[in-house]
Structure 1
Amino acid sequence: MKRMLRNLTVLASLGMTLCSFTAPASAAAETLRFGVAAEPYPPFLVKTPTGQFTGFEPDLIRALCEQMKAECEIKEVAWDGIIPALLANKFDVLFNSMGISPERQKVIAFSRPYYETTGIFVAPKNVKVTLTPEGLAGKSIGVQGSTTNAEFIRTAYGNASNIRIYNTQDDCNADLLAGRIDVMFLDKLGDIDFLKSEDGLAYEEKGTGSVKMDPLLYGLGIGAGLRKSDTALKVKIDQALTQLHDSGKYTQISEKYFPVDLWPQ
């Protein structure tokens, strides 16, 4: 998303749930554990009532594992504790819309970017908003916490606006629908399902705002997080991502969920 600024110091109680899948039977018996946050983030990640993971990133994980001839499993992790869980060897690959940033690169390694996005303001269609710090002065802005978007909004709009931080994007959506916030700020690709829903039909994208987004937050793309010691695994994932794109498989997965190819240019 994201886009995401993790709490690097607090190891949350994880309460992990396991969902596994495997590459074809002929694949080599290398098991990789992919960590994702427990809450839904459609269309990137959704867990069905039967416990299956669907969405852009689970599909891409499966394709990666098939490309690498590896058996894989997905593990759910508490959102705020996902980096500490990776470092504690609770799983091997963090694959959950994490933005690559210099700050995070001090702690973990990243694969090559596998998609890129930016933030966007969303508000009711019948409400005119001026997306400057002055225009949003006194207004309530909702944003999901522990994200790059939250860091940007605090820095750019926090002096004059009331910033409301939410544990999940669903909670932020609910408060926008209830009128408890004036606008929300989220990933441009993350608002697709909301705006297509019955509840979201009265809302629209209002733009990115007047404040230039910090390229150190938004300019490096979204990558898979790994422990710095796992250099061989990073090479394998980088190669597999490139091969999926070159074969057209990546575009096939991307266009299943989005109107555009997400591959970083």
Structure 2
Amino acid sequence: MKKIALLGAVALTVISTYGVAEEQTLRIGIEAAYPPFASKTADGAITGFDYDIGNALCEKMKVKCVWTEQQFDGLIPSLKVRKIDAILSSMSITADRLKSVDFSKKYYHTPGKLAMKAGTVINDPLVDLKGKRVGVQRASTYDRYATDNFAPAGIEIVRYGSQSEAFLDLTSGRLDATLADIVNTDEGFIKTDAGKGFALVGPDFTDSKYFGNGAGIAVRKGDSATAEKLNAAIDAVRADGTYQKIQNKYFSFDIYGG
């Protein structure tokens, strides 16, 4: 009987330990091809603002971040089938996405912008881009905006699995322009050797119908518990200076936005 009781206690301990381990893990999906928010180092490690913010949030939540890297357009499907628990990958909080996932509060907010050859003047994109090829990242807010607004105006939309692929085609002359986040375009392309001869042009793109009111962390529909924990962690890192420290590592301005 004592042996049976002992074995039962061990089994309970294993089950209990397993439960705790599960509670202490948060599986986060990220696309690591979007500098300076997320990219890969020479040795294959993920780096960037999104990655650092995620690790800081996990620390506040007292959980272990387990990062899963994949293309942007596969992140929401992975979340829905429970391969991951959250998406922290510069994903804008939009009404369209809120139909299928829930979000934390924003953790930064920046506008969209066109990148084209330096010296190009764009006053009215719908007029000045007619007949031109504009690259966007597939399944992004920029894809949706361009599909609804650029395509009907006679602008050819070219879609890519990652924004870095669009930048490559822009430099090779296969695109006339690309529409993307202003920070990703400026820091990840314009200011690099590959971006020489190109510039940010035209107006800011800020229509909340398409671009929402900032980037948030997506969770499964109805997972209010995880969303609330993330919200509390975002408040905590902003209050104790952690957010500012991470921001200053990558940017010289307030990326949180108004």
Q: State the TM-score, normalizing by the size of structure 1.
A: 0.83
| CA distance 1:65–1:162, shift in 2 (3 Å) | same
What is the CA–CA distance in structure 1 between the aligned matches of 2:139 and 2:99, rounded to whole Å? 17
The Cα shift of 1:213 comes to 4.4
Q: Which residue of 1 is the match for residue 128 of structure 2? A: 135
Structure 1 residue 185: Cα displacement: 1.0
Whether 1:179 and 2:170 are equivalent positions in the alignment is no
Deviation string 1:29-56 (CA, Å, 9 cap, x unpaired) is 711111112x511000012232321100
Aligned counterpart for 1:124 among listed residues 107, 117, 120 = 117
Q: Distance in 2 between matches of 1:161 and 1:28?
A: 49
* Structure 1 pair 196–78 and aligned structure 2 pair: CA distance change class (3 A): closer
1:15-54 map, 5 Å: 30-37=24-31, 39-54=32-47
**How far does residue 128 in structure 1 lie from its aligned partner after superposition?**
3.6
Q: Give the match for residue 14 of structure 2.
A: none
Which SS does the other structure have where 1:82 is aligned?
Answer: helix
Q: Are positions 1:224 and 2:217 aligned together?
A: yes
Aligned counterparts of 1:52 and 1:111: Cα–Cα separation in 2: 26
Asked if 1:201 corresponds to 2:196, the answer is yes
Aligned to 2:165, what secondary structure does the other structure show?
helix
Q: Give, in whole Å, the separation in 1 of the partners of 2:165 and 2:91.
A: 20
Separation in structure 1 between the aligned mates of residue 70 and residue 23 of structure 2, nearest angstrom: 24
Closer, same or farther: CA 137–78 of 1 in aligned 2, 3 Å: closer
Distance 2:210 2:126 in 1: 19
Number of corresponding residues: 236
What displacement does 1:127 show? 3.4
SS of residue paired to 1:239: helix
Paired position in structure 2 for 1:84:
77
Matching residue's letter, 1:207: G
Structure showing greater radius of gyration is 2
Amino acid at match of 1:185: L
**Which string of whole-angstrom CA distances, capped at 9 and with x for unpartnered residues, describes residues 89-136 of structure 1?**
111111111111112112111000111111101111143444431221
Percent identity between matched residues is 33
AA at the equivalent of 1:114: Y
Say whether the 8 Å CA contact 2:29–2:89 is kept in structure 1: yes
Moved more, 47-56 or 95-104: 47-56
Q: Could you tell me which of 81, 86, 90 is aligned with 1:97? A: 90
| 1:24 corresponds to | none
In structure 2, the residue corresponding to 1:102 is in which secondary structure? coil
Tell me the distance in 1 between the aligned counterparts of 2:145 and 2:96: 14
Question: Mean alpha-carbon deviation: is it higher for 142-151 or for 128-137?
Answer: 128-137
For residue 233 of structure 1, report the CA deviation from its aligned partner: 1.5
Partner amino acid for 2:203?
T
TM-score by length of 2: 0.85
Structure 1 residue runs without a partner (length 5+): 1-26
Q: Which sits farther off after the overlay, 149-158 or 125-134? A: 125-134
Q: Using the alignment, how far apart are the partners of 1:217 and 1:126 within structure 2?
A: 28
**1:206 positional shift:** 0.5
Alpha-carbon RMSD? 2.0
Which of structure 1's runs of 4+ aligned residues deviate more than 6 A? none
- Code of the residue aligned with 1:32 in structure 2: it is L
Q: Is the 8 A contact 1:130 1:136 kept in 2?
A: no
In structure 2, the gaps of 5 or more residues are 1-20
Q: Does 1:151 align with 2:150?
A: no
> Per the alignment, do residues 251 and 207 of structure 1 end up closer, same or farther by CA in structure 2, a change over 3 Å counting?
farther
